[in-house]
């Protein structure tokens, strides 16, 4: 019954109401529009190995060179890609009211940062551009595109690994908490470019809807992510219109 008293607003009105706090969650689809291969597309295998085998701590323990070579290959791919109008639209909306957006991305690239998003970006599944010490867990930014020798941590002199959440690993407490806080304070949740193959987006969309938060989904294809509004299309075309001011 609560919803009957709420003023009906369109997605565009809700997203351009400068009083509103917005939780934005982005997935592989937004990066795909910049030419970053997705695991469900051309990036599913590399050198004959499936991504579920590569993004895996067991494989890293046995074949660290192989796994590092895969991540270096992916760094090289991402290094020549740039943000698209969807990334730019989010960055510009954030600039209009600093602190009004919590941005959580499932993507390991830095296209949001490249687009000029200057607040904190929560990389839910880690970042291609960070290494983690296997001894103490300390992470550092590292942008090398090739390693003659596998990287050792400056803290412990131990082997470093990609700072990525692999299969059977947990999301960092910080990423989880930042997302929860974003959800608790959100008036609107905007989910962009995820098929729902990754459970996270489905879960947060469901939580948002159960709390009565206006939930908007933008994706190229129909998805199983629940929402109040589903806007079908390219993020690079839909978001500039949606976030571009009333």
Q: Smallest distance, Å, CB 197 to Zn ion?
A: 34
If one asks whether residue 135 binds Zn ion (CB under 5 A), the answer comes out as yes
If one asks whether residue 138 binds Zn ion (CB under 5 A), the answer comes out as yes
If one asks whether residue 102 binds Zn ion (CB under 5 A), the answer comes out as no
If one asks whether residue 136 binds Zn ion (CB under 5 A), the answer comes out as yes
If one asks whether residue 153 binds Zn ion (CB under 5 A), the answer comes out as yes
Q: Tell me if residue 50 is catalytic.
A: no
The smaller minimum CB distance to Zn ion, of residues 152 and 220, is found at 152
The smaller minimum CB distance to Zn ion, of residues 110 and 160, is found at 160
HEC string of the chain equals CHHHHCCCCCHHHHHHCCCCCEEEEECHHHHHCCCCCCCCCCCCEECCEEHHHHCCHHHHHHCHHHHHHHHHHHHHHHHCCCCCHHHHHHHHHHHHCCCCEEEEECCCCCHHHHCCCCCCEEECCEEEEEEEECCCCCEEECCCCCCCCCCECCCCCCEEEEEECCCCCCCCHHHHHHHHHHHHHCCEEEEECCCCCCHHHHHHHHHHHHCCCEEEEEECCCCCCCCCEEEECCHHHHHHHHHCCC
Torsion angle of the four alpha carbons 77, 81, 85, 91, in this order, in degrees rounded to the nearest 10 = 90
Torsion angle of the four alpha carbons 192, 128, 80, 237, in this order, in degrees rounded to the nearest 10 = 0
Binding-site member from 61, 79, 150, 155 for Zn ion (CB under 5 A): 155
Rounded Cα–Cα distance for residues 46 and 71 (Å): 11
The smaller minimum CB distance to Zn ion, of residues 82 and 137, is found at 137
If one asks whether residue 154 binds Zn ion (CB under 5 A), the answer comes out as no
Q: Smallest distance, Å, CB 152 to Zn ion?
A: 10
Q: Which stretch binds Zn ion (CB under 5 A): 31-39, 75-83, 128-136, 221-229?
A: 128-136
If one asks whether residue 133 binds Zn ion (CB under 5 A), the answer comes out as yes
Size of the site for Zn ion (CB under 5 A): 7
If one asks whether residue 220 binds Zn ion (CB under 5 A), the answer comes out as no
Handedness of CA 235, 228, 201, 209 (dihedral sign): positive
Q: Which stretch binds Zn ion (CB under 5 A): 25-33, 46-54, 152-160, 175-183?
A: 152-160
If one asks whether residue 58 binds Zn ion (CB under 5 A), the answer comes out as no
Q: Which of 87, 112, 123, 125 is catalytic?
A: 125
Q: Which stretch binds Zn ion (CB under 5 A): 117-125, 131-139, 161-169, 188-196?
A: 131-139
If one asks whether residue 90 binds Zn ion (CB under 5 A), the answer comes out as no
Q: Smallest distance, Å, CB 159 to Zn ion?
A: 10
Q: Smallest distance, Å, CB 154 to Zn ion?
A: 8
Q: Phi, psi (5° rounding) for residue 123?
A: -90, 95
Residue numbers at the binding site for Zn ion (CB under 5 A): 133, 135-136, 138, 153, 155-156
Catalytic center residues: 125
């Amino acid at each position: 019954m609560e919803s009957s008293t709420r003023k009906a607003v369109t997605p565009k009105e809700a997203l351009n109401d400068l009083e509103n706090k917005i939780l934005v969650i982005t997935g592989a689809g937004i990066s795909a529009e910049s030419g970053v291969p997705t695991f469900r597309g051309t990036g599913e295998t590399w050198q004959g190995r499936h991504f579920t085998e590569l993004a895996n701590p067991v494989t890293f323990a046995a074949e660290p060179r192989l796994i590092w070579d895969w991540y270096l290959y992916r760094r090289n791919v991402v290094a020549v890609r740039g943000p698209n109008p969807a990334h730019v639209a989010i960055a510009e909306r954030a600039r209009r009211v600093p602190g009004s957006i919590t941005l959580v991305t499932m993507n390991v690239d830095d296209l949001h940062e490249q687009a000029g998003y200057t607040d904190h970006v929560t990389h839910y599944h880690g970042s291609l551009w960070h290494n983690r010490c296997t001894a103490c867990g300390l992470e550092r930014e590292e942008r090398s595109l090739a390693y003659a020798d596998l990287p050792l941590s400056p803290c412990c002199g131990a082997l470093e690994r990609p700072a990525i959440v692999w299969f059977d690993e947990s999301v960092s407490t910080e990423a989880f908490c930042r997302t929860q806080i974003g959800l608790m304070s959100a008036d609107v949740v905007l989910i962009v470019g995820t098929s729902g193959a990754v459970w996270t987006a489905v879960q947060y969309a469901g939580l948002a809807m159960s709390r009565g938060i206006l939930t908007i989904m933008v994706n190229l294809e129909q998805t199983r992510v629940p929402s109040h509004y589903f806007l079908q299309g390219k993020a690079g075309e839909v978001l500039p219109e949606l976030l571009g001011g009333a």
